[in-house]
Structure formats: C-alpha cells, structure tokens
Structure 1
Amino acid sequence: MLESLGITSRAEQVYRAMLALPDLGVVDLATHLGIDEATVRAALDELADLALLRPSSVQPGSLRPVSPEIGLAALLGRAEAEVLHRQRQVEATRAAIKSIAAEQLASRDHEGVRRYEDVDAVRFRLEELAANAEVECVSLNPGSAQAPDGKESSKPLNQLALERGVTIRCVYQDSYRNDPGVVGYARWLTGLGGQVRTAPTLPMLMVVVDQRVALLPLDPTDSGKGAVEVVHPGVVAAIYALFEQIWRTARPIDVVPQVDGRGMEPSERELLRILADGHTDEVAARKLGLSLRTVRRMTANVMERLGARSRFQAGVHAAQRGWCDQPG
C-alpha cells in the first residue's frame, strides 16, 4: 500500500507492527511476524533511512517508530513534489514538441505543396499524419505501392488511430487477394474496425487524411521516388472524390469477386477495357498488378471466347457486346 512512497511491503509490515507493539525488540518482532531476524533488521535499516524510526529516549540503543502523521506525511509531501516536478517536465516537453511541429509547418511551401524525396521521408510524414488524424484516413494501394515492412510499421499507428475513433478505409488491387501478407494485414485491420476493399485497377498510390491533406507519388509508376503533399482545399477535394468513386465500386475483401452471366470475372472485364484502349499485355499486367504470364493466359482465354484474332480486336468485340460493362 505504501510502495508509492518508497516503502517495501516487508518494511511496511514491520513498521505497522512497531506502531501496534512499540515494546517489541528484534527477536520479538521476528517471532510475532513469523520472519527471520535478518529480514527484520533489513526492514529496520530501510525504515531508518526513510526517517520513520528514531532513537528511543526511554530505551537507549533501541529505535522507536515515528508517528505516521509526521513520518508518512513527510514522505507523501516528497512524493507529491516529485510528481509536480514530473508534470512540469511533461508540460515543457509538450511545449517543445509543439514548437518543433510549428517550425516544421512554417518551413513548408506557402503554395500548399511540399515534396518528400525518398521513402523514409514519406513514411515519416505518414506517421505524423496518422498520429494527428482526427476523423478519417483513406488510401488507394496499387500493386507497386506495397512493401511488407511498410504494412508492419503502420500497424501500431493504425491501431491507435482506430482506438481514437478515426475511420480507416483502404482499397487494394484484386490481385492482392492471393497475397497472404496483404490478406493477413487486411484481416487484422478489419478486425479492429478498419474497412478494406479491392478493385481490379487503381490509378496510383494516394493517401488523404481528414479531407485536408493528400499525399501523392512524385512518379505514379514508382512510389519509391518520393511523394508530394497537397493541402489546397480544391485539389484535396478532387482527390478525395476520386477515392470515393473507386470505393463505391470496389468489393469488401471478404467478399469473393462475382462472375457475371457471361462467366467474366472483374479482372477479366478490366483486362478487356485495357486491351480495347490498345495497350499491350505488359501494360495490362502493370495496371492489374498481375504477372505477365497470368495476363497472357487471361488474354488468350478471352480471345478464344470472343473468336478474336488479336488482342485489340478482343477488346473491341467485348466492348461492342457489352462484356466490359459492370454487371447489373
């Protein structure tokens, strides 16, 4: 009970016994408490160091306990002073953090744009944004944006944000439904209240926090080259609207993609749209986040079903027949 004052439980036991039975010596205290004499003497030394024992005027050479109203009150006053000192240190640290944050904010481009030239700088900024999020964090995560260490490092911050009531919504590519790492992370996140969906293709990596700050890659094809932060309300609103449009058509990760009446999976419909635009298998593989071998197998399959002699012809035939449309 008195450990917060620096008194061990054994010393407290001896102190209480001495207050109740002040005439007991070391041997008697040991017998009364059922402990050995060495333990009693160690407790007496501790109590003396804390000024809870004083030399007895009645029995020279022995010690008497100091009244709790005096001895314990003094220890409590010392503990309260230490707590006050610690609180002042915490307040000073909090003020220093605000000062550093203000200096950093002041150093930013006044046009509402700031560049982060490498992955470490981007992750550092994402950590800041996650720690200060108040309402919502949304993100698009194409295949080129994923790194196992990035997902793991974001877990503690995401958990704290969700515990504060922040909404987290993420969209991944359908191709990641076969990635154990991403699926495991998605299950962990949804288990805490986050929301994860997938879509066949995503335009680029993007993160929007509280509809006031957006992070976009400097190079949409290579997120490792850094990012640009945008805070201009109009631009952020447009980016957020794009996310919402993709979110509405994306599927929850625990829902299996539906095959339409023609036997077409969402990824196959998206592949046909890409082919109809005249893109190569290599471009389709990058957009879908799939291997070139997988895309070529899918392309050959849909060409056979459509009776097309070329990839472009397959895309055109599919568009004419409505195969590229979203199922009703």
Structure 2
Amino acid sequence: MQHYADVDAGVGAEALRVYDAVCSSPGVTRSALCDLVSLPPEETSAAVDRLLELGLLESDDRGSVVAVATGAAVLRACNAVIRAAAEERQEAQRLAALVTGLDAMRASAGAASPDRLVSLESVRRTISVLAAQAQEEILASQPGGPRPDEQLKESLGRTRDALERGVRMCTLYQWTAQFSPATTDYVSYVTSLGAEVRITQDSFMRLLVFDRKTALISLREVPHGALVVHDPDIVNFAVEAYERAWSASQPFPTHYVKDEVVAASEDIKLSIMRLLTEGHEVSVIAKRLGFSHRTCQRHISEIMQRLGARNRLHAGYLISQKGLLDAPPAAPRQPAACAVPLPVH
C-alpha cells in the first residue's frame, strides 16, 4: 500500500487513496470504492466529492467514477486560475479608470487640494489601484530601517504582479534595513523578479510615484496617512529629489559579507558622531539613521565611553577637537582612534 502520511492537506490522504483505487479500477461505483480503500462510506463519499471538485475524477449517469489524467486536471485548474486573475486585473483597471474619472470631474468642478488619506486601509486601497494601473514605472522610498513583516507580506502580491507586467520598480531603503532578515529575504526575492533596490545612509521622505504622474507622500501628523498628489510640478519635484537620493545610494546587499558588515559598522559610528557634532537629540539621530531610540542610545553611550565624554554635547566637542571626522570620504576606512566598531542591530 502506498504511503500517504505526508500528503498536502489541500487534497488529503483519503482522497489520494480513492484516486489511486479509481485509477486501478476505472468505472467503479462509490459503494464498491468503500471496499477497495477500506474507508467508511461517509469518508469515501467526501473524498470522491473532493476529487470531483478538483477535476481529478469524472462521474457518469450510473454513479460510476473514472480518473482524469493529472496533466489534464492541472491544465484545467491553471486555466481557471488564469481566467480568475485576468478578471481581477480587469476589475482593478476598471476601478482605476473610475478613480481617474472622478478626479477629472473634481478638477473640472474646481475642487482644490490633493486627497488626504488618513487611514491605513484607504492608503493600501489607493496603492493597490495605482499599482494595478501603472504601466511603466513605480518609484518607492521606505525610510525608518527594516519594514514590518506584515507590510512586506501585504505588498508582495502587487509588487510581483507589477513586475510580471514589465513595470520597472525601484525601491530605496534606509541602510539599517539590510540587517533585518525578513527585509533581506523580501529584497532577495523581488530583485530576482527584476526589481531594483538600494540603500542609503541619508534620511528621506516616504514616497511612492506611479508612472511619474501620481505621487503618495506621507503625512507629517498622521504616521500611516498619505497625501495623493497629481500636480505635475509637485510630482516632478518629488521625482527629482528621489533621483538625487537614488544616485547617491548603493545596491542592497542580500548576502552576508564580513568585510561589508565591518564597513557598515564603521559607517554607523561615523554617522552618529557627525550628528553628535551638530548637536542633535537622540530621537533625531535615531530617525535620521533608521534606528530604534534604544539602539541609537546604546551606540551613543558606547561612543561617549570610548571618548571619555560626560554627555552628548561633550562628545560632540571632543569629536571635533580630535578631528575624527576630518578624513576625506574617499580615503580607506581606518579604525577611529576613539573607538572600536560598534555592534549593528
């Protein structure tokens, strides 16, 4: 007897036993199947119904069942999925056209001010419509370090769909995102599909631009809200800012390389010291570099300890006095005199 212990739950071991029996005895009735597979009648009937639903069995007028070749069943199921996907895409395009038409009506009626979306659900719904409508390019910037797993999963479907349609997708992350396994796995997958992903040390705004016609910009007072902008001058300004940040960025590293991690650790240290000399608070430094407040405070405490500084202002003074930030950017990285590389989290 064939072993069915590890069968996918979507089919079931009982269903596979029934399918195997029907293949061996074509035209067998349901009642006869109970004896062939040694299952109670209700379980046999449920398994037959499941196989009929999947297209792996066919039934005649006499109640006998015959097996359908798995290749034909798979092809039939795939065609059904393809048709369903095409219908969903048409519906998304219809909704996108409706939104565009409503925007045109509002504009002709003298409706001013871009749309303000204040709920996470409305933002996601708008992004889904605009992503489905995009034909050429989607630009995205995601500050704040690693993205939550829930956000990555929520965006994966529309990202994959856009890439499969040939839409160019560029995403800019803050460089601390590279130390998140979930974010790195996501980036590795989407880049294998053709997406372009980079990281940068500089801070930047949260932004999405679709075909250089519509932009979503984060709201200052509503963390999960967004401003939908159609004005071509504002959109062009956002795109130019994005392109400047993109040109100064570097490819997102999807594989651990010891030398790169050490170099990144050195970069963290130098960036924090530079912001300390400018007199910034911990909260500002954390936001600029994409750290949590706690992680940033730990890095600063270690720098202060190595410098022998009494507080942040004293640390900034000592950094400037010792000239620790005077080395030109192109020079080879050397350990700073005041510290060893800081831990990266």
Give the alignment's TM-score, normalised by structure 1: 0.62
- Helix, strand or coil: the match of 2:325? coil
Question: Aligned residue for 2:252?
Answer: 253
Q: How far is the alpha carbon of 1:132 from its aligned partner?
A: 1.4
Determine the C-alpha separation between the residues in 2 that align with 1:94 and 1:168: 19
Instruction: Please list, as runs of the form range in 1=range in 2, the aligned pairs for 1:31-180 lying within 5 A after superposition.
Output: 97=95, 100-106=98-104, 108=106, 110-111=111-112, 113-143=114-144, 146-180=147-181
CA separation of 1:251 and 1:98: change in aligned 2, threshold 3 A: closer
SS of the equivalent of 2:253 reads coil
Tell me how far apart the structure 1 counterparts of residues 276 and 303 of structure 2 sit (CA, whole Å): 11
Secondary structure at the counterpart of residue 194 of structure 2: coil
Moved over 6 A (4+): 92-96
Counterpart-to-counterpart distance in 1, 2:249 and 2:96: 39
Is contact 1:141-1:202 (8 Å) kept? no
* Residue number in structure 1 paired with 2:13: none
8 A Cα contact 1:276 1:316, kept in partner:
yes
Identity %: 28
Give the counterpart letter for 1:139 in structure 2.
Answer: A
Q: In structure 2, what is the Cα distance between the partners aligned to 1:273 and 1:239? A: 27
* One-letter code aligned to 2:114: V
The separation in 2 between residues aligned to 1:202 and 1:194, in whole angstroms, is 22
User: Given that residues 146 and 180 in structure 2 are in contact (C-alpha distance below 8 angstroms), is that contact kept between their aligned partners in structure 1?
Assistant: no
Q: Does 1:211 align with 2:212?
A: yes
Alpha-carbon contact 2:215-2:229 (below 8 Å) kept:
yes
User: 1:143 aligns to what SS in structure 2?
Assistant: coil
Check whether the contact 2:219–2:226 (CA below 8 A) recurs between aligned residues: yes
SS of the counterpart of 1:223?
Answer: coil
How many residues are aligned here? 244
Query: What SS class does the counterpart of residue 173 from structure 2 fall into?
Result: strand
269-278 or 159-168, which deviates more: 269-278
User: 1:99 Cα deviation (Å)?
Assistant: 6.2
Q: Deviations along 1:22-52, whole A, 9 cap, x unmatched? A: xxxxxxxxxxxxx98x9xxx689xxxxxxxx
What is the CA distance between 1:149 and its match in structure 2? 2.2
Relative to structure 1, is the Cα distance of residues 144 and 98 closer, same or farther in structure 2, using a 3 angstrom cutoff? closer
Q: CA deviation at 1:241?
A: 1.6
Relative to structure 1, the CA distance from residue 212 to residue 318 in structure 2 (aligned partners, 3 Å threshold; closer, same or farther) is farther
Q: Any conservation in 2 of the 1:196–1:252 contact (CA below 8 Å)? A: yes
Considering only aligned residues, what root-mean-square deviation do their CA atoms show, in Å?
3.8
The 3-state SS of whatever aligns with 2:197 is strand
Residue in 2 that maps onto 1:236: 235
Question: Residues 89-114 of structure 1: CA distance to partner in whole angstroms, max 9, x if unpaired?
Answer: 99x97996576334432465644611
Residue 213 (structure 1) shift: 1.4
Secondary structure in 1 matching 2:122: helix
CA distance in 1, matches of 2:318, 2:232: 42
**TM-score, structure 2 as length reference:** 0.59
Amino acid at match of 2:329: P
DSSP-derived class of the 1:204 partner: coil
Question: In the alignment, is residue 195 of structure 1 matched against residue 196 of structure 2?
Answer: yes
